[in-house]
Amino acid sequence: MAIQRTFSIIKPDATKRNLTGAINAKIEAAGLRIIAQKRIHMTPAQAGHFYAVHKERPFYGELCEFMASEPVVVQVLEGENAIAKYREVMGATDPAEAAAGTIRKDFAVSKGENSVHGSDAPETAAEEIAYFFAGLELVG
């Protein structure tokens, strides 16, 4: 597997509880490099665009409101097999189903407020990175 890049968000429930450093420690311990990172506060419209793939789901409105409720930290992670590796470090969407030691098992509040986002495929990773970062901001 070649070196890949993936897009990550440390979500409002985690930034609010001052968990950015603890989450970054798990990311770095897994061998992923944080090659770009910034703190932003999304508007509901920006959150809606980011999660547009879920717009028909019953939780969409709540999800957009939550993502715009507090600042988030957006990141680009780089490493061997980064997309799948970060999904592993994150754990299952529902913290009750997440494996021991994962970010969501240790920190998530609920299925909706689950501390982190990670891209699910190379195409979505490329789109998500381009939405939040200019090329010059990626320092590998």
The residues of the shown chain that bind ligand DAT, judged by CB under 6 A, are 54, 59, 63, 93, 111-112, 114, 117, 120
Q: Is 54 a catalytic residue?
A: no
Residue spans of beta strands (DSSP E) within 41-107: 72-80
Nearest approach, Cβ of residue 54 and ligand DAT (Å):
6
Place of tokens 């609010």: 16
Is 114 one of the annotated binding-site residues?
yes
Nearest approach, Cβ of residue 58 and ligand DAT (Å):
8
Nearer to ligand DAT, 80 or 94 (CB): 94
Is 6 one of the annotated binding-site residues?
no
Chain position whose Cβ is nearest to ligand DAT:
93
Assign residue 10 a region: left if phi > 0, alpha if psi is -120 to 50, beta otherwise? beta
Two tokens at 70? Answer: 């507090």
Nearer to ligand DAT, 79 or 91 (CB): 91
Which run of H or of E encompasses 38? strand 33-40
Main-chain phi, psi angles of 80, to 5 degrees: -60, 125
Nearer to ligand DAT, 128 or 133 (CB): 128
Is 24 one of the annotated binding-site residues?
no
Which run of H or of E encompasses 5? strand 3-10
**Catalytic residue ranges:** 117
